[in-house]
Chains A and B, each alone.
Chain A
Amino acid sequence: MKRASKIFTACTFLLLYVPLLVMIVFSFNSGKSTANFQGFDLRWYIELLSGGAMLDALRNSLVLAVLAALISTVLGLVAALGIFKMKNRYLKATVNSVTNVPMMNPDIVTGVSMLLFFVFVGTTLGYTPYRNFFTVLIAHVTFCLPYVILSIMPKLHQMDKNLTEAALDLGCTPMGAFFRIEFPAILPGILSGFIMAFTLSLDDFVISNFTCGQGFQTLPVYIYNMIKKRVTPDVYALYTIIFLLILALLFISNMLEARAEELNDPYSKKNIAARKAIAAGENPKNVNQSLQKSTKSSLLVKIVAGVTACVLVVLSVSSIFVNTEDEYAWVEYIETPYAGTTLYVYNWGEYIADGSDGSMDLVRVFEEMYDIDVVYSTFDTNEKLYSDIKSGAGVYDVVIPSDYMIERLLKEDLLQPINTDNLKNYHLVDDRYKDLYYDPTNSYSVPYNVGMVGIVYNTAMIDEKDAEKASLSILWDGKYKGNILQFDGPRDGFATAQILLGIDLNTHDKADWDRAYRKLIEQKSVFQGYVMDQIFAKMEGESAAVAPYYAGDCLSMMEENENLAFYYPVEGTNIFVDAMCIPKTAQNVGAAELFIDFLCRPEISGQNMNALGYSTPITAAKDYMDPEMVESELAYPSEDVLVNATSYAYLPEEIVQLVESLFQEATKLIN
C-alpha cells in the first residue's frame, strides 16, 4: 500500500514535470522549431541576453508587479486595519464580500468588466489610448487587494490585544503602540501578502490581456501574441532561466526556514546536544555560540545564493555587454526635424526582418538612421487591428493591414491620406500595385508586401501523384485522414472551400456561404484540426502531412524540415497585398512618413523580402535579394498562377457577422 502510494505520487510529479523538462531541452535547439530538435546550440540564450521585445516585456512585467504589489500592500494594510476595527457585523460582511469579488470571480469576467470600464472612461474623458500602463496597474492592484487583505487579517486576529492595552497603560501613544506592537506582529502577513501580490501580478495573463494596450505589454501577453504566430525556443530559454532562478530561490528560502525551525524546536538534535554539553559542564556561552554558527547557512546555500545573485546581475546588465551597437555603426545618420520623437508601429507578427537568421534588424537600422524611438507592436489578425483602432485601445502612427481591411478602414474613415510627395522612394513602387481596388485614389496606402496562400506538404507523407495534381482537393482527401490541417480564421478557412467549389470569395449571397460552410463541415471528418500558429510545429515536427498557409511562412517551415515542399493550387488561390497606412489618430505623421519611405528603399525592401520570403512591390529591390529567392516559384509565382489568384474584398456588416457565426458553429464542441 505504501509503495503503491509512493509510485502514484512519483507518477503525479512525472506528469507535472515531463513537459517542463522537454521545454528545457528544446531551449537549446539550434533550429527555430519546437518540434524538431536539430542540434545543441546556445543561440536562444545569447539572443535573449542581447535584449529585444521579449526582455522589454519581461521588464514591463517586473516593474508592474513591483508597483502593483507595493500599492496593493499599502492599500490592503490600511483596509485590513479598518475592516478589523469595524463594529457593525453586517457592514463588515458586505465590505468583505465586495473586496473578495475579484478573487471569487473568474479572471475573464474581471478582465472584461475592467475593459468596459476603461473604454467608458476613455470615451467620456476623451483621451486615447483607452488601455495603457495605468489601466493595467489599476487592474492588477484591484485583483491583488483581496489576497493581501486575506494574508493580513488572520495575523490581526491572532494578535494579542492585551499587549496593545498594556502598552497604552504604560503611557505609549496609540500611534506608537501601533508601530511597536501591532506592526511587527502582523509583519509576516504583510510580507506574505506582498509576495503573493507580486507573484499574482507577474503571472497574470487573462486580466492583462484585456487591459493592456498601446505599447505596454506584459510578458504573458507578449507570449500569447507569439503563440498565435510561431513559437520559437527563445521563450523556452527565458522560462528555463526563470525556472532555475525560482528553484534556487525556493531552495534557499527552504533551507533558511529549516534552519530557523531547527533552532526554535526544543527537541531538535542540535538543541538536545547543546543541552547535553551544558549539563556535562561546558561553558554555556561557547555552546550557544557554536550552536548559532552551525545553524548559519551552510556552504551549499551560500553557493546557490551566490550563483543566483550573479545570474541576476548578468541578466540585468547583459544588454549593455552583448551590445549590437557596433553592428549598426555603418548606418548613416540623416538629420530630420523628427529626431528624438517616438513612432508607434503596428504590424503582423514576424513580418519584418528583425536580425534573426543573419538578416538585418530593420527597425534598429531605422532607429539609428533617424534617431527616432520605435515602439513596435504586433497583431495576429486584421480583425484585431480593426478593433484596436476603432475602439481606441491603441494609438499608432503606422499600421500594416491587408487589402480588404484597408477597404473597411477607409469606408469607416479611420485612415488619413499619405502625402506621397514626402516619400522619395514612392516612385519605385511597381505600377501594378498602384490604384488597386481597395485604395482606388492611391492616397491612403503604400504597398508593403504581396503574398499568396499555397499548400505546404510533407513529401514523405504525401503520395507523389497526389502532389503532382497540385489541387486544393488534397485537403479533403480521405487518404490522409487525420493529417490534414485547416486555417483557424473565417476568411482564410472559407476561402479554401470557396475556391474548390468555384464560389466567388467575396460573394454576398448567403446561400453561397452556406454551401461553403457545408464543405467545411465535410472536411471535419478527415482533418486534424484548425490551426494558425501550431501549423509550424505540426508541419516541421511531421505531426501533420498537408496544410494551406501563407507562402512566406511556408518557406520558413521548409527551412526547418527538408521533407517539406510547396505548390500553388491549380484551382486558384488568395492573393493579398499588405500595405502601410497612417490612422487618423496618428500622433507622429512626420516620422510615420519617414518610416514608410524607409521601407520603400530598394536595399531595405530587398533585405526585408529576403528574410520574409514574400514578393516585393518594389521591382528595384530584386537587385538586393538572393538570386535564389528571385528565381523561386514560391516567392515570385508565374503569370498563370497570378491570373487565378483573387483578393478579398470588404464585405458588408451583415455578411461579416454571418461568416463569423458560421465559422464559430464549425468549431463548436463535437458531441
Chain B
Amino acid sequence: MNKRTSIGARLMLAPHILWCALFIVVPLLFVVYYAFAEFGSDGSLVGFTFRHFGDVFTDGDYLGTFGSSLLLALVSTLICLLIAYPTAYCISKMKAHSQRMMVILLMLPMWMNFLVRTYTLTQLLDNNGLINRFLGLFGIGALQFLGTPTAVVLGMVYNYLPYMILPIYTVMSKLDHRLIEASSDLGANSFQTLTRVILPLTVSGVISGITMVFVPSISTFYVAKAMSNGSISLIGDIIETQFGTLNYTMGSTLSFILMILILISMFVMNKFDKEGNGGVVA
C-alpha cells in the first residue's frame, strides 16, 4: 500500500492546516508573547521576563483566586456527577419514547442563554425572591441564599448539569441490560453490580461529562459575581477585567496559567479513560 499521503489528501488538508496555524496557533502564541513580554512606560517592548509569573505566584490574592476557582469547579463537578449519574441511569431504564422526551427536556435549558438562566436563578433566590416569599407563607424567615460560595456552586451546578447528564446517559443507553441481569444472576448485590459492572462500562461517559463541566466551571465569569452579590470574583472575572482595562500582559499571564492548569487536569483525567473514547457527545 502507498505509505505516503496522496496529493489529493494534501490539497484537502492545506486550507485546514493554514486556518489552524493562523487562527489557532498564532493567537495562542500571542498569549504566550504577552505573558512573557515587558513593556516600557511608553508602550514599547523592552524585553522578555518571568516577572509577571513571579508577581502572580507571590501575590496571595491571585493565588487565592486560582485556588478558589479550582476548588469551586471541583466541588461543582463532583455535585453534578453525583446528581447526574443516578438521573442518567433512571432515564436509561425508562421506555423508549419517555427517554426521548427526557432528552428533549434536558436539552431545552441548554438552548437558553446562560446569562439569562443565571439571572433568573438570582431572582428566585434573592432575599425577597420567590423562594423566600414562598417560605414566608409558612412563617419561615428570609433565608440568605445568595452571597456565599455555596451559592456560586449552586449557580454552576444549575448551568452545567445537563452537560453532565447527557454524555452519561448516552453511554448508559448503550449498556446491555442483560449484563446487569447476568451479574445479579451470578449472585452480586446491587452495590457490587454498580461498582463492578455498571461503573466500568460507563467510565467514558463520566469522563466526557467531567470534561464538559470542569473546564467551563473553572473559567467562567459572571456566575460567581451574580450569585455572590458581587463579593466573589473568580479567575475568569479577573481575566475579563484585565483585558477590559487593556492590561494585556497580566491578562495573558493569568490566561496562560489557566491553560496550563487545565492541560494538567486533562492529562490526569485521560489516565482514567483507558478506552480513549473521551470526546464530544453531539
Q: Kindly state whether residue A534 has any CB partner on chain B within 8 Å.
A: yes
Asked whether any CB of chain B lies closer than 8 Å to the CB of A99, the reply is: yes
Residues 1-44 of B, flagged 1 when their CB comes within 8 A of A and 0 if not, give 01111101111111111011001111110110110000000000
Q: Is the CB of A12 within 8 A of B87?
A: yes
Interface pair B83/A12, CB less than 8 Å apart: yes
Tell me if B126 and A239 are in contact (CB < 8 A).
no
B9 x A81 contact (CB < 8 A): yes
- Give the distance in Å from the alpha carbon of A109 to the alpha carbon of B35 in the complex: 13
Report Cα–Cα, A200/B146, bound state, in Å: 30
**Residue numbers in A under 8 Å from B226 (CB-CB):** 534
* Majority secondary structure, A binding face: helix
- Please give the distance in Å from A210's CB to the nearest CB on chain B: 7
Q: Which one of A8, A531, A670 contacts B90 once the chains associate, using CB atoms below 8 Å?
A: A8
User: Does B47 reach chain A (CB closer than 8 Å)?
Assistant: no
Those of B68-104 within 8 Å (CB) of chain A: 68, 83, 86-87, 89-91, 96-97, 100-101, 104
The reply to whether A87 and B5 form a contact with Cβ atoms under 8 Å apart is yes
Q: Is the CB of A82 within 8 A of B13?
A: yes
Does A470 count as interface, using CB distance less than 8 angstroms? Answer: no
User: Which of the candidate stretches A249-257, A272-280, A282-290 sits at the interface with the other chain?
Assistant: A249-257
In the bound complex, do residue A79 and residue B221 qualify as a contact, i.e. CB atoms below 8 Å apart? no
CA distance A571 to B162 in the complex (A): 51
> Would you call A665 an interface residue if the criterion is a C-beta within 8 Å of the partner chain's C-beta atoms?
yes
Docked-complex contact A114 and B27, CB < 8 angstroms: yes
- CB neighbours (8 Å) of A235 from chain B are 116
Say yes or no: A106-B219 contact (C-beta < 8 A), given A85-B6, A145-B19, A667-B230.
yes
Complex: chain A residue closest to B228, CB-CB:
A529
B259 with A138: CB separation less than 8 A:
no
B168 sits at the interface (CB 8 A):
no
Instruction: Determine if B25 and A98 form an interchain contact, defined as CB atoms under 8 angstroms apart.
Output: yes
Task: Give the segment of A223-231, A325-333, A399-407 that binds chain B.
Answer: A223-231
Instruction: Give the CA-CA distance A393 to B11 in the complex, in Å.
Output: 36
A113 partner, pick from B11, B27, B89, beta carbons under 8 A: B27
CB atoms of B100 and A258 under 8 A apart: yes
Q: Cβ of B127 and Cβ of A205 under 8 Å apart?
A: no
Q: Flag A72-90 by CB within 8 Å of B: 1 or 0 each.
A: 0001001101110111100
By a CB distance below 8 angstroms, the chain A residues around B129 are 35, 541, 543
- Asked if residues A79 and B104 are in contact (CB atoms below 8 Å), the reply is no
Contact B158 A16 (CB under 8 A): yes
Is residue A192 contacting chain B, with contact meaning CB distance below 8 A?
Answer: yes
Interface residue stretch chosen among A18-26, A356-364, A433-441, A641-649: A18-26
Segment 108-132 of B: residues with Cβ below 8 Å from A:
108-117, 119-124, 126-130
Partner of A19, one of B91, B117, B234: B117
**B 234-247 to A, binary, CB cutoff 8 A, 1 in contact else 0:** 10101111011110
Task: Give the distance in Å from the alpha carbon of A154 to the alpha carbon of B218 in the complex.
Answer: 30
8 Å CB interface, B124-168 against A: 124, 126-130, 144, 146-147, 149, 158, 161-162, 165
Q: Which residues of A contact B240 (CB under 8 A)?
A: 108, 209
With A85-B6, A109-B259, A116-B252 known as contacts, the answer to whether A668 contacts B15 (CB < 8 A) is no
Residue among B100, B218, B282 making CB contact with A106, cutoff 8 Å: B218
Residues of A within 8 A of B61 (CB): 664-665, 668
- List, in ascending order, chain A residues with CB within 8 A of B231's CB: 524, 529-530, 667, 670
A528 near B127: Cβ-Cβ < 8 Å: yes
Chain B nearest CB from A523 CB (Å) reads: 11
**Interface locus among A346-354, A382-390, A606-614:** A382-390
A113 B229 Cβ-Cβ under 8 A: no
| B233 contacts partner chain A, Cβ-Cβ < 8 Å | yes
Chain A's closest residue to B68 (CB) is A669
Please tell me if the beta carbons of A543 and B126 are within 8 angstroms of each other in the complex.
Answer: yes
CB contacts (< 8 Å) of B246 on chain A: these are: 387, 390-391
A85 in contact with B255 (CB, 8 Å): no
Contact with B along A3-15 (1 / 0, CB 8 A): 0011011001101
Cross-chain contact A250 with B230 (CB below 8 angstroms): no
Question: CA of A671 to CA of B149 in the docked complex: distance in angstroms?
Answer: 9
CA distance A17 to B44 in the complex (A): 52
- Report how far A117 CA is from B25 CA in the complex, Å: 10
Count of A residues near B, CB < 8 Å?
111
Chain A residues with CB below 8 A from B96, complex form = 258
Contact of A112 among B33, B104, B255 (CB under 8 A): B255
Question: Is A583 interfacial (CB 8 A cutoff)?
Answer: no
When chains A and B are docked, how far (Å) is the Cα of A529 from the Cα of B161? Answer: 27
Chain A residues, CB < 8 A from B116 = 23, 223, 235-236, 239
In the bound complex, residues from chain B placing their C-beta under 8 Å from that of A151 are: 282
Task: Knowing A16-B161, A20-B120, A231-B119, say if A668 contacts B233 (CB, 8 Å).
Answer: yes
CB neighbours (8 Å) of B147 from chain A are: 528-529
User: Which of A116, A145, A483, A667 is the one whose CB lies under 8 Å from B27?
Assistant: A116
- Residues on B with beta carbons closer than 8 Å to the beta carbon of A147: 280
Is A512's beta carbon under 8 Å from chain B? no
Q: Is B232 an interface residue (CB 8 A)?
A: yes
- Residues of chain A within 8 A (CB-CB) of B9 are 81-82, 85-86
CB of A99 within 8 A of CB of B5, answer: no
For A79, what are the chain B residues with a Cβ–Cβ distance below 8 Å?
A: 12-13, 15-16
Find out whether the CB atom of A8 lies under 8 angstroms from the CB atom of B87: yes
Checking A15, A110, A220, A537 against B115 with a beta-carbon cut-off of 8 angstroms, the contacting residue is: A220
Given contacts A88-B5, A108-B255, A543-B126, contact A667 B16 (CB under 8 A): no
Pair A669/B233 contact, Cβ less than 8 Å: yes
In the bound assembly, the distance between CA atoms of A233 and B261 in angstroms comes to: 39
Assuming the contacts A99-B20, A664-B241, asked whether A9 and B87 have C-beta atoms less than 8 A apart, the reply is yes
A34-B108 Cα distance, complex, nearest whole Å: 22
**Interchain CA distance A16-B158 in the complex, whole Å:** 7
Complex Cα distance A81/B226, Å? 45
Closest chain B residue to A540, Cβ basis: B128
* CB of B233 to closest CB in A, whole Å: 5
Which residues in A have their C-beta under 8 angstroms from that of B26? Answer: 117
Tell me if B201 is interfacial: C-beta within 8 Å of chain A. no
A669 to chain B: which residues have CB within 8 Å? 64-65, 68, 149, 232-234
B239 near A112 (CB under 8 angstroms)? yes
In the complex, the answer to whether A538 meets B126 with C-beta atoms within 8 Å is yes
Q: How near does chain A come to B170, taking the closest CB pair, in angstroms?
A: 13
Q: Are A242 and B128 in contact (CB under 8 A)?
A: no
B123 in contact with A112 (CB, 8 Å): no
Given contacts A117-B23, A538-B126, contact A12 B161 (CB under 8 A): yes
Closest Cβ of chain A to B25, distance in Å, is 7
Nearest-neighbour CB distance to chain A for B222, whole angstroms, equals: 8
By Cβ-Cβ distance, the 8 closest A-B pairs, closest first, are: A529-B229, A530-B230, A106-B219, A82-B13, A79-B16, A82-B12, A113-B27, A85-B9
- What are 11 sample pairs from A and B whose C-beta atoms fall under 8 A apart? A15-B158, A22-B130, A79-B13, A203-B111, A236-B120, A239-B116, A387-B245, A482-B127, A529-B230, A541-B123, A670-B149
Q: Given contacts A85-B12, A242-B112, could you give 4 more A-B pairs where the C-beta distance is less than 8 Å?
A: A34-B119, A257-B100, A537-B122, A667-B230
Q: Which residues of B contact A (CB under 8 A)?
A: 2-6, 8-17, 19-20, 23-28, 30-31, 33-34, 61, 64-65, 68, 83, 86-87, 89-91, 96-97, 100-101, 104-117, 119-124, 126-130, 144, 146-147, 149, 158, 161-162, 165, 190, 215-216, 218-222, 225-226, 228-234, 236, 238-241, 243-246, 248, 251-252, 255, 258-259, 262, 266, 279-280, 282
